[in-house]
Amino acid sequence: MDRILIRGGNRLSGRIAISGAKNAALTLLPCALLTDEPLTLRNLPRLADVDSFGHLLNQFGVSTMVEGARPSDFGRVMTMRAARLTSTVAPYDIVRKMRASILVLGPLVGRMGEATVSLPGGCAIGNRPVDLHLKALESMGAEIEVTAGYVKATAPGGRLPGGRVNFPIVSVGATENAVMAAVLAKGPTRIENAAREPEIVDLCNLLVAMGAAIDGIGTETLEIEGRDALHGATYRVMPDRIEAGSYACAAAITGGSVDLVGAAAGDMLATLDALREAGVTVEERPDAIHVEASNGLSPLTLSTAPYPGFATDMQAQFMAMLCKADGASVLTETIFENRYMHVPELARMGADIQVRGRAAVVRGVDRMVGAPVMATDLRASMSLIIAGLAAEGETQVNRVYHLDRGYERLEEKLQGVGADIERVGDG
């Protein structure tokens, strides 16, 4: 199994190209199921999760073609065509690898009138039930049965009638599934308390490009008029705001100066505000976001929240960065109840962190030391990379397959700005 070795202490300086967004890509890929015409996505990141989702689409009879053997700095191009779906079953052996697989449920029942999807897997960061997805589809007229680890959704008469969906709490995935199911419903659908993340906006913009009728994009209320059919489209995946924020934290902890090329500041305002509050210089430039930390780091008090609040996917990276702040920071995790599994690993490197329920108190330390550490989930993995960049000596990060799910060419990008980092195998 591969490991990543980091010899810390180098100041990061230079330009990092930001890839297409993982969370957006995994939402846009299932849109291929909504039309029998070709759908081409540009700026797709080369990630394990994207490859897994491609295999899942193949399971349904969708053809996939990727242009180019190697990605450029600005992503791959994939063309998918679901001219004739040969299956509406998403099996356990594929779905267990990736929670985002549940996002085929809405488009399959929307187009085919039925779908059978295994309950998903993914990162072990707490209880993330799919009940909101199922209740949303029920509100649109679907009949739901859960048995033997599978969800079966059926549209009476072969097509969802549409309806009113009112989410009791904000859910990104459930909003995405509801939107994709609604665009082919017989009648209108109103989605209230919808998630407003930039990835939701990206999804709605793609669906509009395919002929969907959606009002209220970017707000908490979406009005969707179902269409009889959608057509194909060519669409560019938005830049990855979480990747950009992660490299910003990496630059900050090393006292570095980095341009995040292609990053969209408007999608990550809460992250940029928190960086500024920590004493990091943040400047928007024509083609990049410039971040620089030359005067040390200040402590923060942060609480995760649905967009436009501070993203839960940035909590671990900020925790690592704040290990070098001058003072005590308080981070509160409100989204997932088990997202502090990186704390013991950071402690092995000399971090001073105390967890009290959903809050973590991070006291900055003068010195961190490299150590063998184990990645537990995707964003926790990146927090260990960030800590390793600032630690004395060598850090060995194990279980790096988590990183491969969400960060494209991580070592290459960090090497390009001066990090001493490499991937090694057991052999």
Q: Are residues 194 and 246 in the same domain?
A: no
The owner of tokens 């100041």 is: 11
Is the per-residue pLDDT at 50 higher than 60? yes
Is the per-residue pLDDT at 414 higher than 70? yes
Confirm whether pTM is higher than 0.85.
yes
Q: Which of 12-21, 62-71, 203-212, 282-291 is least confident?
A: 62-71
Q: What average pLDDT score do residues 26-44 get? A: 97
- Look up residue 416 and give its amino acid: G
Adjacent-strand bridge partners of 246: none
Q: Are residues 283 and 300 in the same domain?
A: yes
Please write down the HEC assignment for all residues of the chain: CCEEEEECCCCCEEEEECCECHHHHHHHHHHHHHCCCCEEEEEECCCHHHHHHHHHHHHCCCEEEEEEEEEECCEEEEEEECCCCCCCEECHHHHCCCHHHHHHHHHHHHHHCEEEEECCCCCCCCCCCCHHHHHHHHHCCCEEEEECCEEEEECHHHCCCCCEEECCCCCHHHHHHHHHHHCCCCCEEEEECCCCCHHHHHHHHHHHHCCCEEECCCCCEEEEECCCCCCCEEEECCECHHHHHHHHHHHHHCCCEEEEECCCHHHCHHHHHHHHHCCCEEEEECCEEEEECCCCCCCCEEEECCCCCECHHHHHHHHHHHCCCCCEEEEECCCCCCCCCCHHHHHHCCCEEEEECCEEEEECCCCCECCEEECCCHHHHHHHHHHHHHCECEEEEECCHHHHCCCCCHHHHHHCCCCCEEEECCC
Q: Given this model, what pLDDT does residue 130 score?
A: 87
Angle at 22 between CA 100 and CA 170, to 5 degrees: 55
Q: Are residues 211 and 252 in the same domain?
A: no
What percent of the chain lies above the pLDDT cut of 70?
96
Is the per-residue pLDDT at 279 higher than 70? yes
Q: How far apart are CA 403 and CA 414, in angstroms?
A: 14
Tell whether residue 289 is among the known ligand binding residues: no
pLDDT digits (tens, 9 = 90+) for 335-387: 876 679 899 999 999 999 999 999 999 999 999 999 999 988 888 999 999 99
Tell whether residue 99 is among the known ligand binding residues: yes
Is the per-residue pLDDT at 126 higher than 70? no
Q: Are residues 211 and 345 in the same domain?
A: no
The owner of tokens 């509406």 is: 88
**Domain count along the chain:** 2
Q: What average pLDDT score do residues 69-79 get? A: 71
* Nearest Cα residue to 176 out of 22, 27, 24: 27
Mean pLDDT of the chain: 94
Q: How far apart are CA 424 and CA 370, in angstroms?
A: 17
Q: Are residues 38 and 72 in the same domain?
A: yes
Tell whether residue 201 is among the known ligand binding residues: no
Is the per-residue pLDDT at 18 higher than 60? yes
Confidence tier at 127 by pLDDT (50, 70, 90) = very low
What percent of the chain lies above the pLDDT cut of 90?
84
Tell whether residue 22 is among the known ligand binding residues: yes
Q: Are residues 93 and 161 in the same domain?
A: yes
pLDDT digits (tens, 9 = 90+) for 280-301: 999 999 999 999 999 999 999 9
Looking at 192, 210, 236, the residue that finishes a domain is: 236
Confidence tier at 124 by pLDDT (50, 70, 90) = very low
Tell whether residue 132 is among the known ligand binding residues: yes
> Could you list the active site residues?
123
Tell whether residue 282 is among the known ligand binding residues: no
pLDDT digits (tens, 9 = 90+) for 391-406: 999 999 999 988 988 9
Q: Are residues 145 and 156 in the same domain?
A: yes
Separation in Å, CA 93 to CA 22, 102, 120 = 21, 13, 10
Q: Are residues 299 and 350 in the same domain?
A: yes
Q: How far is CA 289 from the centre of its chain?
A: 20
Q: Given this model, what pLDDT does residue 289 score?
A: 98
Looking at 211, 236, 261, the residue that finishes a domain is: 236
Tell whether residue 241 is among the known ligand binding residues: no
Q: Are residues 11 and 106 in the same domain?
A: no
CATH of the domain at 168: 3.65.10.10
Q: Given this model, what pLDDT does residue 397 score?
A: 97
Looking at 170, 205, 236, the residue that finishes a domain is: 236
Tell whether residue 362 is among the known ligand binding residues: no
Tell whether residue 363 is among the known ligand binding residues: no
Q: How far apart are CA 351 and CA 318, in angstroms?
A: 13
Q: Given this model, what pLDDT does residue 123 score?
A: 37
* Nearest Cα residue to 41 out of 272, 206, 255, 274: 206
Instruction: Tell me which residue range forms the domain holding 275.
Output: 3-18+239-424
Q: Are residues 134 and 13 in the same domain?
A: no
For strand 39-44 and strand 63-72, is the pairing parallel, antiparallel, or unpaired?
unpaired
Q: What average pLDDT score do residues 214-224 get? A: 98
pLDDT digits (tens, 9 = 90+) for 295-323: 999 999 999 999 999 999 999 999 999 99
pLDDT digits (tens, 9 = 90+) for 135-151: 999 999 999 998 888 99
Q: How far apart are CA 25 and CA 16, in angstroms?
A: 20
What does the buried/exposed string (b/e) look like for 272-286 if buried means 16 or more CB atoms within 10 Å of the residue's CB?
A: bebbeebbbebeeee
Q: Are residues 290 and 348 in the same domain?
A: yes
Q: Given this model, what pLDDT does residue 93 score?
A: 86
Q: Are residues 129 and 266 in the same domain?
A: no
Q: Given this model, what pLDDT does residue 122 score?
A: 44
Beta-sheet strand order (sheet of 213-215): 164-166, 188-192, 221-225, 213-215
Tell whether residue 215 is among the known ligand binding residues: no
Residue 207 burial (CB count, 10 A): 25
